[in-house]
Chain A
Amino acid sequence: MMLTLLTQALALASVPLASGFDPWEFAPPGVWLIFGIVGLPVYVAFSGWFLGRPRNIKSSVLGSVTFLALVCSLWGGLFALTMLIRLFFF
């Protein structure tokens, strides 16, 4: 993935500025959006945890584990609900 981005970035560098730019050519919009823009606040928060001051590795890990556990609980709960629906209705 990174390799692709790098090669594309190099390709971009060789394109004259005045020509048309097709954002889809390098990566689809969703990739830019989710991993670039939407991800930023999340990256910043986690960076702040691990790199900001005052910090404590144990607490940062606790927070991260909590975060992951909650993602799994959310989707796990949703999965359970949908499986129940499948059981009763489909």
Chain B
Amino acid sequence: MSSKEASPEDIVRPMQSTSRWYYAVFAAAGIVALIWLALWGYQLEEGLIVTNLADWGSGGGVTWGVYIGAFIWWVGIAHGGIILSAAVRLFGMKRYQPIARIAELLTIGALSMAGLYIVVHTGRPDRLVTSVIPAYPWSVQTSPLAWDITVITLYFVLTATYLALTLRYDVHRLRDRMPDHLGPVYSIITMGYSEREDEIIERMVWWLALGIIVLAPLLLHGGVIPWLFALLPSMPGWQGAIQGPQFLSIALTSAIAGVIIISLLLRRAYDWDHILTDDMVRGLTLWLGFFGLMFIWLQLQQVITGVYAPAIDAGTVASAKVVNPVYIFAIVSMVLVLAYIFAQAVRESVFTPARSLVAAFLVLAATLSEKVLFVVEGLEYPTFSLYHAIPGHYFPSIVELGSVAGTMALCTLFFLAILKVVPVIELHAVEDHDDHGETEVEA
């Protein structure tokens, strides 16, 4: 525990000064992003032939790959926001309040990257809006993709509304310490603000959190997204009601990992050890372990049912999965992370923030690999396996791999930008008069 007291000064500091590191990271992220944008431009020009995707069946390839896998992965990471906000507002875990807004911002950034992946992965992205909107009243009746678009829009907007509402309190009070040139932005955020509304707004965001905690985990990443796959009758690798819970476990795991990474990086950049405390990180690490265990347990369910006495088509894909090096990497990584987390639960001294950071990165690598493999293997081993070109083959191309780096760079740039505009830690978390302070011991 640091002896330093958290204060509003801490949270406006990013907006007041810029270090060399900021510029360096900005430049690096900017270059990576630009390289990827150039690659994407190449893809827009030549078509999706620049990926290593191909038709499944007689074509010998798979038609969905890294783009869709990464899309799912980013939506998973986005769940960090609502998990933390729900923890704070619905379950009263004030311990995590300092990290809550950062997590919500991660939601916005991650969902934006997910949405960008949809634009990247379609053959005619220029038609995305002009074709989707007119057809919506009919497509929503039957198309899981239309449902996906609906729920992602809802999650994004509800979260953004949540942010807009909670920022009013902070911006109003800290305005004099925030950059002048952004005045118009702050005016919009605090339009019609009066201090009487604080209590009402608190209640309103409580309702929002309640809505989102049902919507996002249960109906998005544990709902319409797995249903994109599980509702199809002909890809045994995707079958089963277990996909809902399975995807949810991935979301929760990736989400906490993302929050751990962001909080540790920001903490380091802005000397926020006394706000984003070790204690908080330990708590997050334990939750990472819990969700990771759920992930492994659900994988166990799938492996057992897939190899014991499966139907021919289900057995083929399950046995292919189990020996696939990518799958083994994902599982082994998760097991290593769980081992660390178990160890530090038993003996406190095992925990260090650095180790948790490594664990979090490993988790993200594992979940991305597992998700891409899930998408790809489903298409490699369909029920109709008569074609000699089945199983298909796929290894991502430079353009596709570039998109992973590119979206991570863009998300970084997003955070770098937002740090300059609004406080990323809630004022409530650092105010002296907030009586749900750090002293309370929470789960």
Contact = CB atoms under 8 A, between A and B. Distances in A.
Indicate whether A and B are direct neighbours in the complex (CB within 8 Å). Answer: yes
Interface of A: 27-31, 33-34, 37-38, 40-42, 44-45, 48-49, 52-56, 58-60, 62-63, 66-67, 70-71, 74-75, 78-79, 81-83, 85-86, 88-90
Contact of A86 (B126, B165, B200, B203): B126
Contact of B200 (A42, A44, A54): A54
21 contacts: A27-B141, A29-B141, A30-B141, A30-B143, A31-B140, A38-B151, A38-B154, A42-B211, A45-B211, A45-B212, A48-B204, A52-B207, A56-B197, A56-B200, A67-B157, A74-B157, A75-B129, A82-B128, A86-B126, A89-B45, A89-B126
Nearest to B44: A89
Contacts of B160: 70
B154 A63 contact: no
B165 A66 contact: yes
Given A30-B140, A33-B224, A62-B191, 18 more contacts: A28-B141, A28-B142, A29-B142, A30-B141, A30-B143, A31-B140, A34-B140, A38-B147, A42-B154, A44-B207, A54-B200, A54-B203, A55-B200, A55-B203, A71-B153, A74-B156, A82-B127, A85-B125
Given A38-B219, A82-B119, A66 B161 contact: yes
Contacts of A81: 119
Contacts of B165: 63, 66
Contact residues of B: prevailing secondary structure: helix
Contacts of B157: 67, 70-71, 74
A90 B45 CA distance: 8
Nearest to B214: A41
A42 B203 contact: no
Nearest to B140: A30
Interface in B129-153: 129-130, 133, 139-143, 146-147, 150-151, 153
A56 to B, nearest CB: 4
Contacts of B211: 41-42, 44-45
Interface string B95-134: 0000000000000000000010001000011111110010
Contacts of A52: 203, 207
Interface residues of B, number: 50
Contacts of B129: 75, 78-79, 82
B164 interface: yes
Interface string B379-395: 00000000000000000
Contacts of B143: 30
B204 A82 contact: no
B158 A45 contact: yes
Interface string B189-226: 00110000101110110111011101100010001100
Interface string B158-194: 1011001100000000000000000000000001100
A5 to B, nearest CB: 14
Contacts of B126: 82-83, 85-86, 89-90
Contact of B215 (A38, A79, A85): A38
